[in-house]
Chain A
């Protein structure tokens, strides 16, 4: 899938070329005042979660935080919040601070696709991730500064791993190689559980391996190129490559190499944990504070055994705070959740202007559309519910006109206040819904709500005698707003 491309700006190209790894991006964030280092000694619990939550309060401008003085982990480094604010994403895409979410949305849309992948393959011996290689006596508790993310989690979680797996029935197929973010709970020094469900690519691979009695090998990539994390969390087609999407978004090659167990991996990641499924084993996992802001319960899930570990010198452990929103999870996946829904909708409905599916992975979405005729927005809403992501996630949909920025909640609330009739809402009962929704009466099933907050059109007479005030708007006003912000921050423009 791809959208209409615009050439990248010179700045965006330069940033793409400069950032080849997590380390490069951290350095770039530091230069731009978007990454701080917490040097005071802290305890793993509760200090890490306390500081992560405080730093993440500002979803527009919050910084990443490096911890380099964790008691009991001398010399170890942890980083959180790398994707914790929209400004951090703006910098990654070569934009200045103050870039709006809507501008980022359109930029990501214009880069969206996998038709022009930029992938360089290098020999494993030349890959920085192979600077150190362990083949026995694994101890994840020692290698990584692990900690409990939320106070009732069942253990210590790795929440931002990008996991590579291949279809065990078709292991030579690059397209059927999947990169996904799956939560990992460390269960022993050299073993962990990984949560997937049958609908996920990884779930399919696990079931295939156990059905056929063949080994399932995976490579867990930690501390990755920041674009990789964004696409590992993006629902792309089963035969599409997340590596291809990530490289195309950056407009610059990603360096890949082969892991010891045959997966394609990022050559510049901080650590690769190679592991193998323990066929037929299921282990207690959870609870874990998840993105809807509630704990998912205790379950018995598949377990993996570490077979080898590669890591850079002084590896940086990158993790995420996740829980009741807003959190880094929302910033990490929000725009990449919105973009494919938009790309799928405009194929049939070019009147769609923008899609905001930022909230709880799209449990609530706002779609801006130019009404072709009365009731048109409802037809678009129905189509959105039929997109791959919409089928399981879009629980509440708010439809607004093309003059409303769906990313600006003040504008959305204005549309709700002035353009909604109570009988312009639709409830569709008993639809499929992700099991994790805490509002579900039965897990896996729920009702959908469509609120049509678009204006009335003929033949509907309602509202025909009111005229909307036209305040100054457009690029000129946006520019003035940015100047005002700079003046307020004491920067001479």
Chain B
């Protein structure tokens, strides 16, 4: 595990979600989740999904930037 494949958040922002085992109980893959951009991935996926440099730049996310909010809760206040 290193940084987030989508937003490059540092290791401490990434949590382990689940480990997939085979019938013998051996580790097959691990699912990770980024607390900064909420990306979820499995370490066995093709590079196009989980390698920052292979992924199309279009799909990068900068969690600091504003994104559209669906039904903004502030509208009720």
Residues of A within 8 A of B (CB): 43-46, 71-75, 139, 141-142, 147-148, 151-152, 154-156, 185-189, 195-198, 203, 206-207, 210-211, 279-280, 282-285, 287, 295, 297-302
Residue of B nearest to A153 (CB): B49
What residues of chain A lie closer than 8 Å to B63, measured between beta carbons?
A: 284
| CB-CB contacts below 8 Å: B34-77 with A | 37-42, 44-46, 48-49, 55-56, 59, 61, 63, 67-73, 76
Chain B neighbourhood of A72, CB < 8 A: 20-22, 28-29, 44
Which residues on B sit within 8 Å (CB–CB) of A298?
Answer: 61, 67
Q: What B residues does A71 contact at CB under 8 A?
A: 20, 22, 28-29, 44
Across the A-B interface, how many residue pairs have beta carbons closer than 8 Å? 109
What residues of chain B lie closer than 8 Å to A279, measured between beta carbons?
Answer: 73
- In the complex, which of the residues A73, A152, A195, A284 contacts B49, with contact meaning CB atoms closer than 8 Å? A152
**Interchain CB contact under 8 A, A299 and B70:** yes
Residue of B nearest to A213 (CB): B76
A181 CB → nearest B CB, Å: 17
Q: How far, in whole Å, are A287 and B49 apart by their CA atoms in the complex? A: 12
The 0/1 profile, CB within 8 Å of A marked 1, for residues 1-15 of chain B is 000001000000000
CB < 8 Å neighbour of B59 from A43, A198, A287: A287
Q: Could you jot down 17 A-B contacts, CB within 8 Å? A: A43-B44, A147-B42, A152-B49, A152-B55, A154-B6, A154-B40, A155-B38, A155-B40, A156-B40, A185-B40, A187-B33, A207-B71, A210-B73, A211-B76, A279-B73, A282-B70, A301-B70
Contact A302:B56 (CB < 8 A) given known A72-B28, A189-B18, A285-B38: no
Q: Would A74 and B23 be within 8 Å (CB), given that A282-B69, A298-B61 are in contact?
A: yes
- Alpha-carbon separation in the docked complex, A185 to B44 (Å): 19
Docked complex Cα distance between A70 and B19 (Å): 14
A156 vs B29: C-alpha distance when bound (angstroms): 15
Nearest 9 A-B pairs (CB), nearest first? A72-B20, A155-B40, A141-B18, A72-B28, A284-B38, A74-B23, A280-B73, A301-B70, A45-B45
Q: Whose C-beta in chain B lies nearest to the C-beta of A72?
A: B20
Known: A152-B59, A211-B76. 12 other contacts (CB 8 A): A71-B22, A71-B28, A139-B18, A148-B42, A151-B49, A154-B39, A155-B39, A196-B70, A284-B38, A297-B67, A297-B68, A298-B67
Size of the B side of the interface (Cβ < 8 Å), in residues, is: 35
Q: Which residues of A contact B48 (CB under 8 A)?
A: 151
Taken together as a complex, chains A and B put the C-alpha atoms of A188 and B34 apart, in Å, by 10
> Least Cβ distance of B51 to chain A in Å?
11
Please measure, in the bound complex, the distance between the C-alpha atom of A388 and the C-alpha atom of B73, giving whole angstroms: 27
Task: Find the B residue at minimum CB distance from A198.
Answer: B71
Nearest B residue to A155 by beta-carbon distance?
Answer: B40
A419 to B31, CA, bound (A): 57
Q: A302 to B73: give the CA distance in the assembly, Å.
A: 9
Q: Is the CB of B71 within 8 A of A45?
A: no
Query: Is the beta-carbon distance between B18 and A142 smaller than 8 angstroms?
Result: yes
- Which single member of B21, B23, B55, B69 contacts A300 (CB below 8 Å)? B69
* Highest count of chain A CB atoms <10 Å: which of B17, B23, B61, B76: B17
Choose from A141, A155, A295, A299 the contact partner of B68 (Cβ within 8 Å). Answer: A299
Least CB distance from B27 to A in Å reads 9
Please tell me if the beta carbons of A188 and B45 are within 8 angstroms of each other in the complex. no
CB distance from A301 to the nearest CB of B (A): 4
Q: A152 touches which one: B28, B42, B56 (CB < 8 A)?
A: B56
Please determine whether B31 and A284 come into contact, CB atoms closer than 8 angstroms: no
Contact B44 A195 (CB under 8 A): no
What is the distance, in angstroms, from B69's C-beta to the closest C-beta of chain A?
A: 5
Cα of A285 to Cα of B63 in the assembled complex, Å:
12
**Chain A nearest CB: distance from B76 CB in Å?**
5
Closest chain B residue, CB of each to CB of A145:
B20
Q: What's the least CB distance linking B68 to chain A, in Å?
A: 5
- Provide the bound-state CA to CA distance between A301 and B38, in Å: 12
Chain B residue nearest to A146 in the complex (CB): B31
Q: Kindly provide the distance from the CB of A147 to the nearest chain B CB, expressed in whole angstroms.
A: 8
Which chain B residues lie closer than 8 Å to A189 at the CB level?
Answer: 17-18
Shortest A395–chain B CB gap in Å is 22
Q: Bound state CA distance, A54 and B74, in angstroms?
A: 45
CA distance A210 to B61 in the complex (A): 28
